[in-house]
């Protein structure tokens, strides 16, 4: 049985190696076997203030990144969320069945609204998970490949699907999250207690997919470790080194045991130097491909047009059923 897959990335800031390892790399793998919808979720991006021109540019850069990592447009539906307005329509409908308490419990909302407090946060930021649930449910998605930080949102999606089905009759498929064992949460290079994030203000905390070779070397050489000088995988006791090893594993395919053996008796300096070169070898070509896709915007737009048309057709078919079940319209 083929799965129907949905996942998305917000076109905010540049994408980083956590997005690559936690999400994109899995997508490339899954597309071979299943029906995939990969979306650029620009309406989620605007739940925090964005500069309109920069947002438009980043939508295309994100599309170029999807293609550069190996998403095949002929095999998948690659599209921009705001071009399929049925997502926001269903997002609204789901908000009418979601509960304030459920949304208040979302860690991402709590984190993002921490500065100004919940009362000062935007309503869009609060309703964010309902729109995410709409993204997923509108395509009868069975599988949602994401990093570990999105698990709570996928769980809420399951709750909303079940609630809707109970109230209005069997309508939505209850989707499953797909989260890999190693690499679902890449941590900041400067603070292994914090997840790597696009918006981290610490200059060397985040490895962006567009970083130059020199910048990759600098960030990795300056990354924090511990005082033990032992390349050993133990996320509990050695979170910083284990995080670097996770990146190493994803760049080379080597197991943690292989990596431990390779650097036995060597210091962190040697390990970091090699890690930087592995990241450069893996990410350098990716960076060049992103730029290559960005040079032909007409082709890029053609791909997004085709994705939008497919998504529109599928989303509208589902919405006809949803509107009827809820008694909307005439
Ligand atoms: P976003 O844009 O924050 O992140 C995109 C994807 O990257 C993963 N990710 C990470 N994985 C490992 N380590 C990290 N440090 C790291 N940081 C981010 C995220 O888990 C995600 O898979 N709400 C989503 C976007 C979205 C979505 C959806 C996803 C909207 N609708 C429907 C799936 C299905 C988000 O903010 O992703």
Q: Are residues 283 and 303 in the same domain?
A: no
* Token pair for 33: 């076997």
Q: Of these residues, 2, 99, 195, 302, which one is catalytic?
A: 195
Whether 263 is covered by a domain: the verdict is yes
Tens of pLDDT along 168-192? Answer: 999 999 999 999 988 899 999 999 9
Identify the CATH number of the domain in which residue 58 sits: 3.40.50.620
* Mutate-to-test residue for ligand 1 from 3, 12, 15, 23, highest number of ligand atoms within 8 A of CB: 23
Please tell me the distance from the alpha carbon of residue 278 to that of residue 253, in angstroms, as a whole number: 11
Q: Are residues 36 and 168 in the same domain?
A: yes
Using the mean position of ligand 1's atoms as its centre, give its distance from the Cα of residue 25 in Å: 13
Using the mean position of ligand 1's atoms as its centre, give its distance from the Cα of residue 322 in Å: 27
Determine contact, residues 124/147, Cβ cutoff 8 Å: no
Tens of pLDDT along 287-306? Answer: 999 999 999 999 999 999 99
Whether 250 is covered by a domain: the verdict is yes
Q: What is the pTM of this model?
A: 0.96
Q: Are residues 283 and 316 in the same domain?
A: no
Structural domains in the chain (count): 2
Residue 204: pLDDT band (50, 70, 90) is very high
Q: Are residues 37 and 100 in the same domain?
A: yes
Torsion sign (Cα): 206, 274, 65, 56: positive
Give the CA distances from residue 54 to residues 49, 51, 279, 289, 290, in Å, rounded to whole numbers and listed in that order: 11, 5, 27, 21, 17
- Active site (annotated) includes residue 110: no
Identify the CATH number of the domain in which residue 233 sits: 1.10.240.10
pLDDT of the residue at 13: 82
pLDDT of the residue at 50: 95
Q: Are residues 309 and 288 in the same domain?
A: no
pLDDT of the residue at 122: 87
- Pocket of ligand 1 contains residue 65 by CB under 6 Å: no
Ligand 1 atom closest to residue 150's alpha carbon, by position in its atom list: 20
Whether 196 is covered by a domain: the verdict is no
**pLDDT, average across residues 71-98:** 98
Q: Are residues 134 and 255 in the same domain?
A: no
- Does 203 score more than 90 pLDDT? no
Q: Are residues 172 and 99 in the same domain?
A: yes
Determine contact, residues 49/8, Cβ cutoff 8 Å: no
Q: Are residues 246 and 113 in the same domain?
A: no
- Pocket of ligand 1 contains residue 17 by CB under 6 Å: no
Tens of pLDDT along 3-55? Answer: 999 999 999 988 999 999 999 999 999 999 999 999 999 999 999 999 999 99
Using the mean position of ligand 1's atoms as its centre, give its distance from the Cα of residue 147 in Å: 6
pLDDT of the residue at 199: 83
Q: Of these residues, 25, 75, 112, 318, which one is catalytic?
A: 112
Ligand 1 atom closest to residue 41's alpha carbon, by position in its atom list: 30
pLDDT of the residue at 14: 86
Whether 159 is covered by a domain: the verdict is yes
Burial class (CB in 10 A: 0-12, 13-18, 19+), 33: exposed
**Closest by alpha carbon to 247, among 233, 265, 266, 267?**
233
pLDDT of the residue at 110: 86
- Does 167 score more than 80 pLDDT? yes
Q: Are residues 279 and 220 in the same domain?
A: yes
**pLDDT, average across residues 223-232:** 95
Q: Are residues 63 and 105 in the same domain?
A: yes
- Active site (annotated) includes residue 25: no
Residue 318: pLDDT band (50, 70, 90) is very high
pLDDT of the residue at 230: 95
Ligand 1 atom closest to residue 132's alpha carbon, by position in its atom list: 31
Whether 140 is covered by a domain: the verdict is yes
Please tell me the distance from the alpha carbon of residue 274 to that of residue 97, in angstroms, as a whole number: 52
Q: Are residues 44 and 172 in the same domain?
A: yes
Tens of pLDDT along 105-138? Answer: 999 888 888 877 778 888 999 999 999 999 999 9
For 287, the domain range is 213-292
Whether 202 is covered by a domain: the verdict is no
pLDDT of the residue at 182: 87
Whether 206 is covered by a domain: the verdict is no
- Does 198 score more than 90 pLDDT? no
Whether 162 is covered by a domain: the verdict is yes
pLDDT of the residue at 183: 87
Q: Of these residues, 75, 110, 198, 301, which one is catalytic?
A: 198
pLDDT of the residue at 35: 97
Q: Are residues 171 and 219 in the same domain?
A: no
């Amino acid at each position: 049985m083929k799965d129907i897959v949905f996942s998305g990335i917000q076109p905010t800031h540049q994408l980083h190696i956590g997005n690559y390892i936690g999400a994109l790399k899995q997508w490339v793998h899954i597309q071979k076997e299943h029906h995939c919808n990969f979306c650029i979720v620009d309406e989620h991006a605007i739940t925090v203030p964005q500069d309109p021109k920069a947002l438009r540019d980043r939508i295309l850069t994100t599309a170029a990144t999807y293609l550069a990592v190996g998403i095949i447009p002929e095999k998948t539906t690659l599209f921009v969320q705001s071009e399929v307005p049925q997502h926001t329509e269903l997002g609204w409908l789901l908000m009418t069945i979601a509960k304030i308490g459920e949304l208040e419990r979302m860690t991402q909302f709590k984190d993002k609204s921490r500065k100004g407090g919940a009362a000062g946060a935007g309503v869009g930021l609060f309703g964010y998970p309902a729109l995410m649930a709409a993204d997923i449910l509108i395509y009868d998605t069975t599988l949602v490949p994401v990093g570990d930080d999105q698990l709570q949102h996928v769980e809420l999606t399951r709750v909303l699907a079940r609630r809707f089905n109970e109230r209005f009759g069997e309508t939505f498929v209850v989707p499953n999250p797909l989260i890999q064992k190693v690499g679902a949460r890449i941590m900041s290079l400067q603070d292994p207690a914090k997840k790597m994030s696009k918006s981290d203000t610490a200059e060397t905390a985040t490895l962006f997919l567009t970083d130059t070779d020199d910048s990759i070397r600098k960030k990795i050489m300056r990354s924090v470790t511990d005082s033990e000088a032992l390349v050993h995988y133990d996320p509990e006791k050695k979170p910083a080194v284990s995080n670097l090893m996770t990146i190493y594993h994803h760049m080379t395919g080597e197991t943690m045991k292989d990596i431990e053996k390779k650097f036995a008796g060597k210091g962190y300096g040697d390990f970091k130097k090699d890690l930087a070169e592995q990241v450069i070898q893996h990410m350098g070509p990716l960076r060049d491909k992103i730029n290559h896709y960005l040079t032909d915007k007409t082709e890029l737009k053609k791909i997004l047009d085709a994705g939008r048309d497919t998504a529109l057709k599928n989303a509208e078919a589902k919405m006809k059923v949803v509107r009827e079940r809820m008694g909307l319209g005439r």
